[in-house]
Amino acid sequence: MALKDLIPFGMSLPHRSPDAIGPDAIGMDAVQRVAIRAEALGFRDLWVTENTLDHVTSFDPVVILTYAAALTSRIGLGASVLVLPVHDPRMVAHQWATLDQVSNGRAIMGVGIGRPVHYAEFQVSAEARVARFREQIEMIRALWSGDPVTHHGRFYHVDNVKLGIRPVQAPLPIWMGVGHPDAIRRSAVLADGWMGAGGSTTDDFRRAVPMLRDALEKAGRDPATFPISKRIFIAVDENPAVARAELQRWYGEVYHNPAGTDTSGIHGTPEQVGARLAEIIAMGANHLLLNPVARHVEQLDALAEVIALA
């Protein structure tokens, strides 16, 4: 059975790159071609990250997803993840409800708590960030309901306010992308899906899945219907040395972690890549996000063939 018959696959839009110029530079032409082609090839959804203050080229997630929405009609549109505590939940609720309207109900909002550097960048206190995060989720969902909201919490206060628009989806799914054991268990209670980070290792994912499944069962939720995913930075080529070099450059220049080439990413020939993807599915993934790091359109077609034939 082909991999694409086992689980749905997502595809990363070209939205973050160490190349400002040259054949691997990202731009609207690449975004357009990948969005249209990924939908035609049957990928489930398109994804971006949020990296506002970045050392490499990086686009705003909501703007790029809105552009992709205008180019497509069926494919889902997700971000993994927004560092939610550095945002105002009222603004986030409005942006994502609007994206859901623009796309006719295709948005998936991934959120996380982020790292200490994010709080320093935006001059937001990292104190009580988990409590802030929980309150934000509660407030966003209340605003999406369309009913007047009165909320007096630890961080936010509103009286009898309504959002200017409601999402098409009820509910608009909120996924979480977190790796700490406490955060994984929190996802089982608060989230509508979970995605392991691209920078996390395959072993991290192997350990996280049973932990998440156990927490879902304790919360009275069915692990079989809960999206369990991982972003995979990936490079495929008939010459495995070429694929490995592309991925190593990515991990070195973007993550400053060349070791991630082998511990987190997947690279190799089509046969090798297909076998590695099958291993991660066997660990419990019921969705995978493939994130090429170069030659985006070419890699999209090559990966579509891998998951169709492996």
Average pLDDT estimate for 164-179: 94
**Is the predicted pLDDT of residue 291 greater than 80, yes or no?**
yes
**Burial tier of 192 (Cβ tally within 10 Å: 0-12, 13-18, 19+):** middle
Residue partners of 207: CB distance under 8 A and separation at least 6: none
Q: pLDDT, tens digit, for every residue of 238-286? A: 999 999 999 999 999 999 999 999 999 999 999 999 999 999 999 999 9
Q: Which of 108, 101, 102 is nearest to 174 (CA)?
A: 108
How far is Cα 162 from Cα 90, in angstroms, rounded to an integer?
A: 10
3-state SS record for 164-222: CCCCCCCCCCEEECCCCHHHHHHHHHHCCEEEECCCCCHHHHHHHHHHHHHHHHHCCCC
Is the pLDDT reported for residue 222 higher than 80? yes
- Tens of pLDDT, residue by residue over 181-211, are 999 999 999 999 999 999 999 999 999 999 9
Q: What's the pTM? A: 0.97
Res. 148 pLDDT band, cuts 50 70 90: very high
- Asked if 33 and 297 count as a contact pair (C-beta separation under 8 A), the reply is yes
CATH value at residue 158:
3.20.20.30
pLDDT greater than 90 at residue 7:
yes
Could you please report the per-residue DSSP string of 97-117? HHHHHHTTS-EEEEEE---HH
With cut-offs at 50, 70 and 90, classify the pLDDT of residue 226. Answer: very high
Dig out the tokens for 126 from the structure: 């990292």
Please tell me the total count of domains within the chain.
Answer: 1
Across the range 217-235, mean pLDDT stands at 97
The answer, yes or no, to whether residue 24 has pLDDT greater than 90, is no
pLDDT exceeding 90 applies to what percent of the chain? 94
- Give residue 1's pLDDT: 86
Look at residue 179 and tell me whether its pLDDT is greater than 90: no
The residue written with tokens 């309901």 in the block is 145
Integer Cα distance of 91 and 109 in angstroms: 13
- 230 near 285, Cβ under 8 Å? yes
Tell me the residue range of the domain where 21 lies. 3-309
pLDDT at 23 over 80: no
Contacts within 8 Å (CB) and 24+ apart, 126-129: 126/85, 128/154, 129/85
Hey, which residues does 9 pair with through a beta bridge?
288
Angle between helices 89-102 and 129-144 (to 10 degrees): 40
Kindly state the average pLDDT of the residues 78-100. Answer: 97
- Return mean pLDDT, the chain: 96
The token pair that represents 236 in the structure block: 């495929």
Nearest to 295 by CA among 242, 257, 253, 256: 242
Helix or strand (DSSP H, E) at 150: strand 149-152
Say what the pLDDT of residue 147 is. 95
pLDDT digits (tens, 9 = 90+) for 112-143: 999 999 999 999 999 999 999 999 999 999 99
**C-alpha–C-alpha distance, residues 257 and 204, integer Å:** 16
What is the band of 310 on the pLDDT scale with cuts at 50, 70, 90?
Answer: confident
